[in-house]
Homo-oligomer: A and B are copies of this chain.
Amino acid sequence: MARDLQEQIKKLIVDRRLPPGASLPTEPELMELLGVSRNSVREALKALQAMGIVEIRHGFGTYVGPMSMAPMAEGLAFRTVAGHYRGEDSLLQLLELREAVETGLVARLAGRVPDADLAELDALVGQMEKEAASPDGTVAAATDRAFHATLYRGLGNPLLVEVMEAFWEAFHRVRTDLVDVPQDPGVTCRQHREILDAVRSGEVIRAERAIRDHFGNIRLRLTATDRNPTA
């Protein structure tokens, strides 16, 4: 029955063509509308919130959620952490997932990136190099993330970009939580530059190799440091 409640609320969103951000009925209204107690309404909303379908703001109201891939990243991250602590190579699997997907995507991308995106990617690599040269000498995670997100924007498929970002996010969070992988800023910058150059020139093979090298580097540092899963 509780499962059914969630379905009814989802149906309500779909039937009314509510876009993300639209306001949903209040809890008392939903009670009457669905004929159940407040408790049941709240449990259903909590579940939908966890899936990003609904957004609840205390003292304000309930709204249609952004329906982003953030919950997926969350779930993926937890799954990976749990697996890691139980001795699985889950983090490596997650990295392989990213590598496989990006390798496939970069091939369709080579030579097709809009000039505006190329300029932005140039700026991002420039910022990486600046960060690498700064006192602490580490490339900010946000910069790396932005590079990968911007790279695939040219495919004209926002879903694709979101999924990539979710994978990135999950990997990043697990890595920083679990294992402290030392950066090699110089290599990181060079590899991103190489990816950008390859994509710009439209050389498919070179682009694929650049991506593979990049992930190979991450994998190397991961397997080198991650010798104690019971941290």
Contact = CB atoms under 8 A, between A and B. Distances in A.
Interface residues of A, number: 51
Given A46-B2, A159-B97, A75 B72 contact: yes
Report how many copies the assembly holds: 2
Interface string A60-97: 00000001000110111011011101100010011011
Given A51-B74, A75-B71, A103 B93 contact: no
A53 B76 CA distance: 10
Nearest to A87: B17
A93 B163 CA distance: 11
Q: Is the interface of A mostly helix, strand, loop or mixed?
A: helix
A155 to B, nearest CB: 8
A154 to B, nearest CB: 13
A93 B156 CA distance: 9
Contacts of A48: 50
A72 B163 CA distance: 11
A85 B157 contact: no
B107 A163 contact: no
A112 B96 CA distance: 16
A5 to B, nearest CB: 10
A75 B67 contact: yes
